[in-house]
Structure 1
Amino acid sequence: MTSAQAVKKKNAWLSYAVLFILPTFVLYTLFVIVPTFSSIYLSFTSWDGVSPDIRFIGFDNFVEMWHSERVHNALKNTLILSVVLVVLENVTAILLAILVDQVRWLRNFFRSIFYFPVLLSGIVMGFVWTIIMNYNFGVISQLLDKLHLGFLKLDLLGDPKYALLAIIITTVWKSSGYYMIIYLAGLQGIPQELNEAAAIDGANRWQQFRHITFPLLAGAMTVCVMLSMISSLKIFDQIAVMTDGGPGFATETLTYIVYKVGFGELRQGYGTALALVLFILILLVSIVQIQLLRKREVQM
């Protein structure tokens, strides 16, 4: 084959490759790249989402955001939910994974039961827990009344002191089964000989978990903590159905306030600016987490 033929063949393969990736690239450009840059531009405007008039206002949206008590409250709620959910979801998932891994009978049944809440949509789950927690006609309230323990009733969805707790409980119930599967895969990848050798040396169950199982779950924990943190920073469905951000603004998060401002108050420019800040927050948290968790993996 001459050099000219080789170049011609190489160009033909290059053309085929370009044609192969072109449809995907066009779709990616239309649905990811263009909306991303459009959102960045809209965050500097006062667009209402309806009118064709888009007025550029510079950094006014970000200045307003900086001084907004409502945004500060939403940021505080978002950070509280993120920290608490990451801890509770992962602790619960590890406990469930150990339980399922140790059980001898009906193992697949328990896996299915614990994983079932993951299959429910956030909207359906929100309605179910609203029925359970409602102060007037909820399952918990009726059960306490039947037991003559009405004085123990709490308005979990209507009291600002407990509303965020209700969101945390329902989210942990829904999400823990998903992370359980990842931890279960990690547990089954740990050689049983290590625990057997530790038991022969006199290590009890807690010592085996602390010095063998937990360190060897570092890879699974990195994945679960990352997914849990990103999910909690974007939490929306439960809040929309169960509390609508209330009572007052007690359960508003950055994701929910983006929706309320952008679509409820017709301030798409301001809502897009909030979404941009949320994106940057998630990006920074993810980078820091990856660095810390990868470092922990190496150390262990």
Structure 2
Amino acid sequence: MRSVPLLPAVVLLALFMLGPAIWSLYGSLTNASLTGKAALNPRFIGVKNYTDLMADPEFWKSIGLTVLFTLASAVVGQNVLGLAIALLQKSAHSVVRALVGTIVVGAWVLPEIVAAFALYAFFADDGTLNSVLGMINIPVVHWLYEHPMLSVILANVWRGTAFSMMVYGAALTEVPPEIEEAAEVDGASGWQRLAHITLPMITRSIATNLMLTTLQTLSVFTLIYVMTAGGPGTDSSTLPVLAYQVAFQFAKVGYGTAIATFMLLIGAVFSIIYIRMLKPEVDA
């Protein structure tokens, strides 16, 4: 009887989350297309799309780029930079704290399409970055052509760090100051207090933030598509971009849906890892 009040929530979750996932799985088992006979009457073809994926080198390349993009920009970039800013703000003057917070959060509250075009202008050949580098006599670098993954990784770090900063800022307020003061009196350095007191006490927040930023980064599409369109060639085609290209540019909707479904599996793997990180504390 206690579970009855939760029934509407469970039904809504099943309808709006589980339902689309099941429909996506079914679509990935068909030859659905935007043109031809398959557009009108898609045919069930079983796991053919998945066997074709396993034999497609572009798919494996895209997986590698997706993992690189996620690890570099979310797991490392956003989390490390967000934690660093939160730690600095903790001891900063209120004016500095407000100014830095406003600047960092400004990148996060921008609509994604606006942020994407701003970052494209920043990394373009005649953009802000090359203009600044030109002032110190560094020749023009074709960032979006020669270093597409580095460009989109830095862009995503700039775009998403604010969320991590706010999560860690809230978590740090829960660390009792008297414990840190006692460690300082005992001669512990700042790094020792961070490693042995602060980080262990915010482990739950770290794992939660890692999961949220990872899942969000796995689905980043607009930022990459506006900046590089997955190019040059397929050198920045992460799984969301590849799924879009296959489904809507090459009209292979079923094949593109298989790629999108595979993304769900990758997200599930990351989620399981982070949930296991939380499990000892939950059990305690």
Same fold per TM (> 0.5)? yes
What secondary structure sits across from 1:158 in the alignment? helix
1:293 CA drift (Å): 4.3
1:150 CA drift (Å): 4.1
Counterpart contact for 2:218–2:267, Cα < 8 Å = yes
**Mapped pair 1:285 → 2:274:** no
**Mapped pair 1:213 → 2:198:** yes
Counterpart contact for 1:158–1:247, Cα < 8 Å = yes
Task: Please give the alpha-carbon distance, in whole angstroms, between the structure 2 residues aligned to 1:299 and 1:211.
Answer: 21
1:289 CA drift (Å): 2.2
Residue type of the alignment partner of 2:70: S
Match of 2:137 in 1: 149
Task: Please give the alpha-carbon distance, in whole angstroms, between the structure 1 residues aligned to 2:112 and 2:142.
Answer: 21
% identical equivalent positions:
29
Deviations 1:29-63 (A, max 9, x none): 65444433322222111111462211122221111
CA pair 82-99 structure 1, distance change in 2 beyond 3 A: same
Match of 2:104 in 1: 114
**Mapped pair 1:48 → 2:41:** no
1:280 CA drift (Å): 1.4
Task: Please give the alpha-carbon distance, in whole angstroms, between the structure 2 residues aligned to 1:21 and 1:230.
Answer: 26
1:130 to 120, 127, 139: 120
What secondary structure sits across from 1:271 in the alignment? helix
CA pair 52-34 structure 1, distance change in 2 beyond 3 A: farther
1:66 CA drift (Å): 0.4
Task: Please give the alpha-carbon distance, in whole angstroms, between the structure 1 residues aligned to 2:244 and 2:269.
Answer: 22
Match of 1:246 in 2: 231
**Mapped pair 1:59 → 2:44:** no
Residue type of the alignment partner of 2:145: G
Task: Please give the alpha-carbon distance, in whole angstroms, between the structure 2 residues aligned to 1:88 and 1:140.
Answer: 19
Match of 1:171 in 2: 156
Match of 1:4 in 2: none
2:79 to 65, 72, 90: 90
1:157 CA drift (Å): 0.2
Question: Cα RMSD (Å) of the superposition?
Answer: 2.5
Task: Please give the alpha-carbon distance, in whole angstroms, between the structure 2 residues aligned to 1:96 and 1:281.
Answer: 29
Match of 2:90 in 1: 101
1:226 CA drift (Å): 0.7
**Mapped pair 1:35 → 2:20:** yes
Residue type of the alignment partner of 2:141: L
Task: Please give the alpha-carbon distance, in whole angstroms, between the structure 2 residues aligned to 1:200 and 1:239.
Answer: 49
Counterpart contact for 1:222–1:294, Cα < 8 Å = no
1:222 CA drift (Å): 1.0
Counterpart contact for 1:47–1:268, Cα < 8 Å = yes
Tell me the TM-score normalised to structure 1 length: 0.85
Deviations 1:69-88 (A, max 9, x none): 11011000011112212112
For structure 1, the 5+ residue unaligned runs are 1-9
Task: Please give the alpha-carbon distance, in whole angstroms, between the structure 2 residues aligned to 1:216 and 1:293.
Answer: 12
Residue type of the alignment partner of 1:122: E
Task: Please give the alpha-carbon distance, in whole angstroms, between the structure 1 residues aligned to 2:268 and 2:226.
Answer: 27
Tell me the TM-score normalised to structure 2 length: 0.89
For structure 2, the 5+ residue unaligned runs are none
Residue type of the alignment partner of 1:99: L
Task: Please give the alpha-carbon distance, in whole angstroms, between the structure 1 residues aligned to 2:171 and 2:136.
Answer: 46
Write the mapping of 1:1-40 to structure 2, written as runs, cut at 5 A.
21=8, 25=11, 31-40=16-25
Deviations 1:61-108 (A, max 9, x none): 111100101101100001111221211211101100011111123132
1:140 CA drift (Å): 2.0
Question: Which stretch of the first structure deviates more once superposed, 55-64 or 246-255?
Answer: 55-64
